[in-house]
Amino acid sequence: MRKLIFFLLLFSQQVYAQGWHLQSVTNQTCASFRGLSVVDDSVAWVSGSKGWVGKSINGGLDWNFRQVKGFEQCDFRSLYAFDAQKAIIANAGSPAYILYTSNGGENWKLVYKNDDTAAFIDGVDFWNKNEGIIYGDPVGGRMLLLRTSDGGLSWHELKKSERPLLEDNEASFAASGTCIRCMKNGKIVIATGGKVSRLWVSNNKGANWQSLPSPILQGQSTTGIFSVDFYDDKKAVIVGGDYKQENLAKDNVFYTNDGGQSWQTPKLCTGGYRECVQYIDNKTVMATGPTGTDISNNGGTIWMPLFKDRSYHVIRKSRKGNLLIMVGAEGKISFIRR
């Protein structure tokens, strides 16, 4: 009976996966895109290498691209867009820059700079239109944490006592900008990786933190959690692995139903190392990476290939709507439709 149920689940998953279609968009850049913010079913922004930033106002069908003047060598891996006019970008690397636009990307204002050679920004997220947080690799042994209360116009570093003390060789990955998630009621979750890979959780917008261990592959600088997504306070999925072993499908995806207090191993895993995971609804989850995109129709219990051998870095669903966009290397932009 168990085998019968398992194969029925597997069959239903395969049928469901066939209902999704990938449509690629042609653009004039060859940038590697790792920053992606999908505001609603019309407005979406991308950012990436060589200072490139793009915007669509018609659901991803057409894009307008610009290189940020004076920052053409920056890799803008962190991105948060509020609407068609306002957005925040931050680069991966030192010096660390945060830039702000209020006119749709025509001009950008430098709102933060950190010259410390250890400064490396990994991601950004907001609780609302005013309050947001940016995090990065450790500086002086503690996670870099910056907060804004004016919609990104200014940023201040959290006090030393409010920044998690990390283990040696514990940092994070800016592969997709999705190791940080701001949630309801001031909750925030940040995933680290490397020698130690765990979740850091705060219930008061970063004033206090607790850490939750994860079972994901870890112990090397190339391993750990590369993305986390929470559907609510209880349901979450983590993905990752080892970016030097892209096809290794071992300890690279887990799901929880108790907020990360315990983790479950899927009956069928993703097809290897994955850089980004995204809930589509309360049961449907997608994960993408260099060897393909996978889908689960049961909250992460069983994963099946959706778009095999199609390489992407990030998948995002619109915060207000159902638009799904994926971006990757060599200017690759695609959106997913049923």
Peptide bond into 290 cis (omega under 30): no
Give residue 337's pLDDT band: very low, low, confident or very high (50, 70, 90).
confident
The alpha helices in 51-151, defined as continuous H runs, are: none
Provide mean pLDDT across the span 300-318. Answer: 95
Please say whether the beta carbons of 254 and 214 come within 8 A: yes
Helices (H) and strands (E) in the chain, counts: 1, 29
Residue 3 has pLDDT above 70, yes or no: no
Please say whether the beta carbons of 196 and 164 come within 8 A: no
Complete DSSP assignment for 149-191:
SSTTS--EEPPGGGSPBPPTTEE---SSS-SEEE-GGG-EEEE
Q: For the segment 128-150, what is each residue's pLDDT rounded down to a tens digit?
A: 999 999 999 999 999 999 999 99
Give residue 10's pLDDT band: very low, low, confident or very high (50, 70, 90).
very low
Of the candidate ranges 20-29, 121-130, 256-265, the one whose mean pLDDT is the lowest: 20-29
Provide mean pLDDT across the span 292-302. Answer: 97
Provide mean pLDDT across the span 41-45. Answer: 98
Q: Judging by beta carbons within 10 Å of its beta carbon (0-12, 13-18, 19+), is residue 168 exposed, middle or buried?
A: exposed
Say how far apart CA 205 and CA 201 lie, in whole Å: 9
Cα 135 to Cα 120, 123, 183, distances in angstroms: 9, 6, 15
Give residue 27's pLDDT band: very low, low, confident or very high (50, 70, 90).
confident
Say how far apart CA 61 and CA 334 lie, in whole Å: 9
Superfamily name with CATH number, domain 2-337: YVTN repeat-like/Quinoprotein amine dehydrogenase (2.130.10.10)
- What is the residue extent of each domain of the chain? 2-337
Q: For the segment 222-246, what is each residue's pLDDT rounded down to a tens digit?
A: 999 999 999 999 999 999 999 999 9
Report the amino acid identity of residue 333: I
Cα 319 to Cα 44, 91, 296, 315, distances in angstroms: 10, 23, 20, 13
pLDDT of residue 17: 55
Nearest CA to 15 among 300, 295, 316?
295
Residue 181 has pLDDT above 70, yes or no: yes
Element (H, E) at 5: helix 2-17
Residue 322 has pLDDT above 50, yes or no: yes
Provide mean pLDDT across the span 273-302. Answer: 97
Cβ partners under 8 Å of residue 331, min gap 6: 27, 28, 29, 30, 31, 33
Report the amino acid identity of residue 318: S
Computed over every residue of the chain, the mean pLDDT equals 94
Whole-model pTM above 0.85?
yes
* Radius of gyration (C-alpha) of the chain in whole angstroms: 19
Say how far apart CA 326 and CA 85 lie, in whole Å: 21
Side-chain-facing half-sphere of 63: CA atoms under 13 Å: 24
Give residue 44's pLDDT band: very low, low, confident or very high (50, 70, 90).
very high
Percent of the chain past pLDDT 90, that is, above it, reads 90
Say how far apart CA 297 and CA 276 lie, in whole Å: 17
Report the amino acid identity of residue 69: K
pLDDT of residue 18: 59
Cα 236 to Cα 49, 135, 203, 285, distances in angstroms: 30, 20, 16, 10
Of the candidate ranges 59-63, 82-86, 210-214, the one whose mean pLDDT is the lowest: 59-63
Supply 133's token pair: 């947080």
In 159-291, the DSSP E strands lie at 170-171, 180-182, 188-191, 193-194, 198-202, 210-213, 223-230, 236-242, 253-256, 276-279, 285-289
Residue 4 has pLDDT above 70, yes or no: no
Give residue 268's pLDDT band: very low, low, confident or very high (50, 70, 90).
very high
CA 242 from centroid of its chain's CA atoms? 16
pLDDT of residue 23: 87
